């Protein structure tokens, strides 16, 4: 007993003070890719290399649409690797959670030449509404002490990658309970469902039942590329794709898997929603 | 090889059509019919071999038949023997081995479900990989498109063995569990607290992975391999790449081999530390879990420094690894491991200091060695029950033939010894990594990229942190795959959990389950 106490005291505080202080990440850490659409001369190698179809090209006569979907991105870095120009680069950005699925999708339009190359950016949408998200979260944390949040985690078919990082939220480094947030054993005790995917055909019914068993008002967060879009699995005979193919989703948290701070960011965003919902 | 080929032809002159060694160390024996029973019996009894896996392939369009493959190995012999048994498309049936060999029970039923080939004489031929309420489809047949939209389910139809008698009842648990874990269904039959028996139902996370492999260009398929079982992303990724490299005869640069070994061991360390904490947590020793979680974070941070990902994703590639290491990254390895070693020693001391914890772990969830051998249990769970197997030693790959390590084996088979195997292995992994870093050769970290020739087959095995991971591939045209078979160690080990229930109470199930810590996604794919 003495040994245990001694060890615990000697360690001191292990908890990192995210989100007040930005997390220390390795220089090599890969967050989401960033695209300089105006400087991007050829999107084909990146689209070809992207394992999940997060970068897609739609060519019609004289027009090329490049669609970048952060909801499919697994942050592998292949797009930056294969793009000869510096137009695509990997960043440390991971706070990507949004409430509107469309905010994860960027579109750029180019003039398409007959040889398959393109030039002259015609138009591009801006990145996910990250700044706005940041403000919302600040507000949510500001009011935090007034209320706690109970989360039921549901694995609707994931590879267990996201679960590892969700489990890590409970370790002393992330210590999610410091926000009054805790994981509960039953959907009947939950305010929020934290769902990973892709939703398999064999889990569809269980997911629906879990959602029905969660009392109103409730919030659903879809976690990871697979939870948002089906990720590398997409939709197939055994996979229905993202969580919103089965139940309504309020918050989308990109990543593969999202690092614990990214999950926390998304959960705090959802907390803001939950509060507005009168919980 | 020559004597083996001769012996086999003499012994089974009618049945053996050819014996070939197309990939070094992998001997394929082509049979003239679907009945592998006699040769299997011969291998198991007279050659002391082990049936590693059985799987099927649809070659109807190319060759007019299906094939079943039976993979064997033998302690002390680094080569693999693969029986290849043709199955007629007009009579889609093969003799089941499950009655004699319980280790193939689920695998034969997978073949039934996915290929529509009947395992004739199987003692329990019910569906396993496709749930009971699926329509009559066989997704791994070539004439079944990946994106087939199936009709909606009509309710649950699985019937569990009933629990009858006074004072006995059933406790259904899952697929959505109380903890943050993957989905599966456990149906306990209990008499008060003691468990009478447990029925498992898996494959809730079946997501068409093996079919999807046939629909992706090979470089992209590497990322799919990383998503077979998320806690073994690097091991499965490396197993897949190694299969392709063997098939295409790509030589992986020495430097990459040592880097891969380092990362494989880091994956083992991170998971073993996490499990040590989780086992303590499940017997109420929360503070030990808190320390374990903290120490595990040190390893995940190192992973990020070395690969850009806390869970080692996006690093392994066909022909090597995607990114080289600079000196500061290599220095970070020793610096971090020194802290991890010290902290893990303290954690182990804390774990062992508590009598009440030891009390809960000892003689709990015993898997007897003879049952473990019969069920083909592998990996950590096997080594705690006398099954002395380790792919790193038995079929050396990557840099392992140059690296020193011992394989801990115990006979007791209880939770405490599954924990002890992990504790020992963390120490061994630290040794391996230090030796790998000390010997890290210079040169390229990746072989030049090249198209993969079609029509090549190869087997690959990696000792993941959980145990033996097998990948088998047949390459196709246009840099794609005709078939990729994936076997996670969990598929052998799940049925073993059922065997450990006897004499235990429901309250001990979580810690027993955690001491195996099997992959649902790796099983279900």
**Are A239 and A117 in a shared domain?**
no
- CA separation, residue A49 to residues A76, A79, B473 (Å): 10, 6, 21
Distance in angstroms (rounded) separating the CA atoms of residues B301 and B460: 29
Distance in angstroms (rounded) separating the CA atoms of residues B226 and B522: 11
- The predicted pLDDT at position B228 comes to 98
Render pLDDT for B176-234 as a digit per residue (tens, 0 to 9): 998 899 999 999 999 989 999 999 999 999 999 999 999 999 999 999 999 999 999 99
Distance in angstroms (rounded) separating the CA atoms of residues B311 and B395: 26
DSSP category for residue B361: H
Give domain status of residue A21, yes or no.
no
Q: In chain A, what residues touch B322 (CB-CB under 8 Å)?
A: 77, 81
Residue A208 near residue B155 (C-beta atoms within 8 A): no
Distance in angstroms (rounded) separating the CA atoms of residues A63 and A58: 8
Give domain status of residue A162, yes or no.
yes
Q: Domain count of chain A?
A: 2
Give domain status of residue B32, yes or no.
yes
Burial of A4 (0-12, 13-18, 19+ CB in 10 A): middle
Residues present in chain A in total: 279
- The predicted pLDDT at position A278 comes to 46
Pairing between strand A63-69 and A105-112? antiparallel
Q: What is the DSSP string of B438-497?
A: HH---S-SBPPP-PPPTT-EEEEEEE-SSSEEEEEEEE-STTBEEEEEEE-THHHHHHHH
Min Cα distance B224 → chain A (Å) is: 7
Give domain status of residue A242, yes or no.
yes
Give domain status of residue B182, yes or no.
no
**Are A172 and A230 in a shared domain?**
yes
DSSP category for residue A129: -
Q: In chain A, what residues touch B274 (CB-CB under 8 Å)?
A: 164, 167
**Are A118 and A207 in a shared domain?**
no
**Are B113 and B227 in a shared domain?**
no
> What's the predicted TM-score (pTM) here?
0.95
Sign of torsion, CA A136 A101 A128 A21?
positive
Give domain status of residue B364, yes or no.
yes
Residue of B113, B222, B227, B289 best to disrupt the A interface, most CBs of A under 10 A: B227
Sign of torsion, CA B333 B334 B336 B338?
positive
Distance in angstroms (rounded) separating the CA atoms of residues B239 and B222: 10
End-to-end CA distance of chain B: 35
Tokens coding B72 = 């064997």
Sign of torsion, CA B99 B103 B109 B112?
negative
Residue B381 near residue B367 (C-beta atoms within 8 A): yes
- The predicted pLDDT at position B475 comes to 97
- The predicted pLDDT at position A275 comes to 60
Residue of A nearest to B285 (CA): A4
A265: domain CATH number is 3.40.50.12280
Give domain status of residue A19, yes or no.
no
Give domain status of residue B154, yes or no.
no
Residue of A3, A74, A159 best to disrupt the B interface, most CBs of B under 10 A: A159
Render pLDDT for B118-147 as a digit per residue (tens, 0 to 9): 999 999 999 999 988 889 999 999 999 999
Nearest CA among B107, B159, B110, B114 for reference residue B136: B114
Cβ of A198 within 8 Å of Cβ of B207? The answer is: yes
Task: Give the angle B288-B291-B294 at the CA atoms, nearest 5°.
Answer: 150
Residue A19: asked if its preceding bond is cis (omega within 30°), the reply is yes
- ipTM for this model: 0.94
Pairing between strand B65-74 and B49-59? antiparallel
Domain C-terminal end among B105, B120, B135 = B120
- The predicted pLDDT at position A279 comes to 47
Residue A128 near residue A96 (C-beta atoms within 8 A): yes
**Are A262 and A149 in a shared domain?**
yes
Residue A257: asked if its preceding bond is cis (omega within 30°), the reply is yes
- The predicted pLDDT at position A135 comes to 52
How many Cβ atoms are within 10 Å of A118's Cβ, its own excluded? 23
Nearest CA among B519, B457, B494 for reference residue B55: B457
Nearest CA among B378, B395, B396 for reference residue B51: B378
Residue of B nearest to A154 (CA): B176
Beta bridge mates, B70 = B54, B83
Pairing between strand B320-321 and B457-463? unpaired
Q: What is the DSSP string of B175-204?
A: SS-SSS----EEEEEEESSBEEEEEEE--T
Cβ neighbours of residue A154 closer than 8 Å, sequence gap 6 or more: A187, A193, A194, A195, A196, A206, A207, A210, B176
**Are A175 and A260 in a shared domain?**
yes
Residue B140 near residue B211 (C-beta atoms within 8 A): yes
Distance in angstroms (rounded) separating the CA atoms of residues B491 and A276: 46
Distance in angstroms (rounded) separating the CA atoms of residues B462 and B394: 11
Give domain status of residue B185, yes or no.
no
**Are A66 and A80 in a shared domain?**
yes
Cβ of B297 within 8 Å of Cβ of A256? The answer is: no
Give domain status of residue B135, yes or no.
no
Min Cα distance B110 → chain A (Å) is: 15
- The predicted pLDDT at position A155 comes to 97
Q: Which domain holds residue B431?
A: 209-524
Out of B146, B228, B290, closest to residue A172 by CB: B290
Q: Which domain holds residue A190?
A: 131-276
Residue A19 near residue A264 (C-beta atoms within 8 A): yes
Nearest CA among A277, A275, A250, A251 for reference residue A264: A251
Count interface pairs A-B at CB distance under 8 A: 197
B113: domain CATH number is 3.30.460.80
- The predicted pLDDT at position A132 comes to 52
B403: domain CATH number is 1.10.645.10
Q: Give the CB-side neighbour count of residue B410, counting CA atoms within 13 A.
A: 19
**Are A63 and A117 in a shared domain?**
yes
Any B CB within 8 A of A193 CB: no
Residue of A nearest to B229 (CA): A159
Min Cα distance A235 → chain B (Å) is: 7
Cβ neighbours of residue A11 closer than 8 Å, sequence gap 6 or more: B291, B294
**Are A163 and A77 in a shared domain?**
no
Distance in angstroms (rounded) separating the CA atoms of residues B368 and B26: 32
Cβ neighbours of residue B98 closer than 8 Å, sequence gap 6 or more: B104, B105, B108, B119, B122, B123, B124
Render pLDDT for B140-192 as a digit per residue (tens, 0 to 9): 999 999 999 988 777 567 888 888 888 899 999 989 998 899 999 999 999 98
Give domain status of residue B167, yes or no.
no
- The predicted pLDDT at position B214 comes to 97
Cβ neighbours of residue B68 closer than 8 Å, sequence gap 6 or more: B34, B36, B54, B55, B56, B84, B85, B87, B94, B111, B117
Nearest CA among B424, B263, B260, B234 for reference residue B333: B263
Does residue B457 register a pLDDT over 50?
yes
**Are A240 and A165 in a shared domain?**
yes
- Percent residues over pLDDT 90 in chain B: 86
A62 Ramachandran zone, left/alpha/beta (phi>0; psi -120 to 50): left
**Are A142 and A254 in a shared domain?**
yes
**Are A109 and A179 in a shared domain?**
no
Domain C-terminal end among B120, B153, B168 = B120
Cβ neighbours of residue B50 closer than 8 Å, sequence gap 6 or more: B44, B72, B73, B74, B75, B376, B389
Give domain status of residue A89, yes or no.
yes
Residue B414 near residue B363 (C-beta atoms within 8 A): yes
Distance in angstroms (rounded) separating the CA atoms of residues B128 and B509: 23
Q: Domain count of chain B?
A: 2
Distance in angstroms (rounded) separating the CA atoms of residues A178 and A14: 13
Distance in angstroms (rounded) separating the CA atoms of residues A250 and A270: 7
| Under-50 pLDDT residues of chain A | 130-131, 142, 144-145, 278-279
**Are A138 and A245 in a shared domain?**
yes
**Are B381 and B498 in a shared domain?**
yes
Domain C-terminal end among B120, B146, B181 = B120
Give domain status of residue A219, yes or no.
yes
Give domain status of residue A1, yes or no.
no
- CA separation, residue B327 to residues A63, B305, B312, B437 (Å): 47, 12, 19, 11
Pairing between strand A219-223 and A251-253? parallel
Q: In chain A, what residues touch B306 (CB-CB under 8 Å)?
A: 28
Q: Which residues of B302-316 are buried (b: 16+ CB within 10 A; e: fewer)?
A: bbbbbbbbbbbbbbb
Residue A145 near residue A180 (C-beta atoms within 8 A): yes
**How would you write A166-204 as a 3-class SS string?**
HHHCCCCCCCHHHHCEEECCCHHHCCEEEEECCCECCCH
Give domain status of residue B141, yes or no.
no
Give φ, ψ of B231 to 5 degrees: -85, -5
Distance in angstroms (rounded) separating the CA atoms of residues B83 and B28: 6
Give domain status of residue A136, yes or no.
yes
Distance in angstroms (rounded) separating the CA atoms of residues A225 and A71: 5
Q: What is the DSSP string of B140-155?
A: TSTTS-TTPPPPPP-S
Residue B150 near residue B135 (C-beta atoms within 8 A): yes
Tokens coding A197 = 């995917």
- On average, the pLDDT of chain B sits at 94
Cβ of B230 within 8 Å of Cβ of A160? The answer is: yes
Instruction: Provide the chain A residues 215-254 that lie in CB contact (below 8 A) with chain B.
Output: 226, 231-233, 235-239
């Amino acid at each position: 007993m003495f040994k245990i106490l001694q060890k615990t005291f000697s360690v001191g505080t292990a908890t990192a003070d995210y989100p007040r202080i930005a997390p220390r990440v390795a220089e090599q850490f890969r967050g989401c890719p960033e695209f300089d659409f105006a400087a991007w001369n050829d999107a084909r190698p990146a689209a070809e290399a992207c394992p999940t179809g997060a970068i897609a090209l739609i060519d019609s006569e004289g027009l090329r649409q490049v669609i970048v979907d952060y909801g499919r991105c697994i942050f592998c870095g292949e797009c930056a690797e294969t793009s000869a120009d510096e137009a695509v680069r990997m960043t440390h950005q991971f706070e990507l959670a949004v409430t509107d699925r469309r905010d994860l999708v960027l579109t750029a339009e180019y003039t398409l030449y007959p040889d398959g190359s393109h030039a002259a950016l015609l138009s591009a949408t801006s990145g996910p509404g990250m700044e706005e998200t940041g403000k919302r979260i600040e507000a949510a944390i500001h009011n935090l002490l007034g209320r706690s949040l109970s989360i039921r985690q549901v694995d609707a078919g994931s590879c267990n990658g996201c679960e590892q990082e969700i489990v890590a939220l409970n370790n002393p480094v992330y210590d999610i309970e410091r926000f009054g947030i805790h994981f509960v054993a039953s959907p009947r005790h939950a305010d929020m469902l934290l769902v990973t995917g892709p939703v398999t055909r064999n889990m569809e019914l269980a997911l629906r039942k879990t959602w029905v068993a969660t009392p109103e008002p409730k919030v659903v967060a879809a976690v990871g590329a697979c939870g948002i879009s089906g990720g590398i699995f997409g939709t197939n005979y055994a996979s229905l794709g993202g969580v919103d193919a089965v139940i309504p989703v309020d918050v989308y948290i990109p990543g593969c898997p999202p690092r614990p701070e990214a999950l926390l960011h998304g959960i705090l965003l959802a907390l803001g929603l939950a509060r507005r919902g009168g919980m | 090889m020559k004597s083996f080929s001769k012996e086999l032809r003499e012994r089974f002159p009618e049945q053996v059509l050819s014996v070939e060694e197309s990939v070094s160390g992998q001997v394929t024996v082509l049979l003239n019919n679907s009945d592998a029973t006699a040769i299997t019996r011969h291998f198991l009894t007279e050659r002391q071999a082990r049936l590693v896996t059985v799987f099927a392939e649809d070659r109807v369009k190319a060759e007019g038949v299906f094939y079943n493959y039976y993979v064997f190995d033998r302690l002390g012999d680094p080569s693999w023997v693969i029986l290849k048994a043709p199955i007629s498309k007009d009579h889609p049936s093969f003799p089941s081995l499950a009655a004699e060999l319980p280790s193939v029970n689920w695998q034969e039923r997978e073949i039934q479900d996915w290929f529509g080939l009947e395992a004739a004489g199987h003692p329990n031929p019910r569906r396993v990989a496709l749930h009971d309420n699926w329509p009559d489809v066989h997704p791994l047949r070539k004439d079944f498109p990946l994106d087939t939209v199936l009709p909606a389910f009509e309710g649950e139809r699985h019937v569990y063995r009933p629990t009858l008698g006074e004072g006995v009842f059933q406790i259904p648990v899952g697929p959505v569990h109380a903890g943050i874990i993957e989905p599966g269904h456990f149906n306990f039959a209990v008499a008060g607290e003691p468990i009478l028996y447990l029925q498992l139902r898996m494959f809730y996370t079946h997501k068409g992975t093996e079919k999807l492999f046939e629909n992706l260009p090979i470089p992209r398929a590497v990322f799919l391999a990383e998503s077979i079982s998320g806690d073994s992303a690097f091991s499965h990724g490396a197993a897949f790449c190694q299969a392709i490299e063997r098939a295409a005869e790509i030589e992986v640069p020495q430097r990459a081999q040592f880097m891969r070994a380092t990362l494989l061991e880091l994956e083992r360390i991170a998971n073993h530390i996490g499990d040590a904490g989780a086992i303590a947590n499940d017997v109420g020793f929360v503070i030990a879990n808190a320390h374990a979680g903290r120490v595990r974070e040190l390893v995940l941070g190192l992973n990020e420094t070395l690969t850009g990902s806390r869970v080692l994703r996006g690093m392994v590639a066909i022909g090597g690894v995607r990114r080289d290491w600079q000196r500061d990254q290599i220095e970070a390895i020793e610096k971090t491991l020194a802290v991890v070693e010290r902290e893990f020693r303290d954690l182990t001391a804390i774990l062992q200091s508590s009598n009440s914890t030891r009390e809960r772990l000892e003689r709990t969830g015993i898997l007897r060695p003879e049952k473990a051998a019969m069920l083909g249990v592998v990996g950590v769970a096997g080594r705690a029950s006398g099954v002395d197997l380790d792919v790193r030693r038995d079929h050396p790959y990557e840099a392992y033939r140059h690296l020193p390590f011992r394989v801990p084996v115990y006979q007791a088979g209880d939770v405490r010894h599954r924990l002890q195997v992990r504790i020992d292995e963390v120490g061994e992994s630290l040794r391996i990594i230090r030796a790998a870093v000390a010997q890290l050769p210079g040169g390229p970290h990746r072989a030049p990229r090249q198209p993969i020739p079609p029509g090549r087959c190869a087997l690959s095995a990696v000792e993941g942190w959980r145990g033996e991971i097998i990948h088998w591939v047949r390459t196709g045209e246009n840099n794609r795959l005709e078939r990729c078979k994936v076997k996670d160690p969990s598929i052998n080990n799940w049925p073993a959990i059922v065997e450990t229930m006897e004499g235990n109470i429901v309250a001990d199930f979580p810690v027993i389950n955690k001491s195996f810590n099997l992959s649902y996604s790796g099983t279900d794919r």
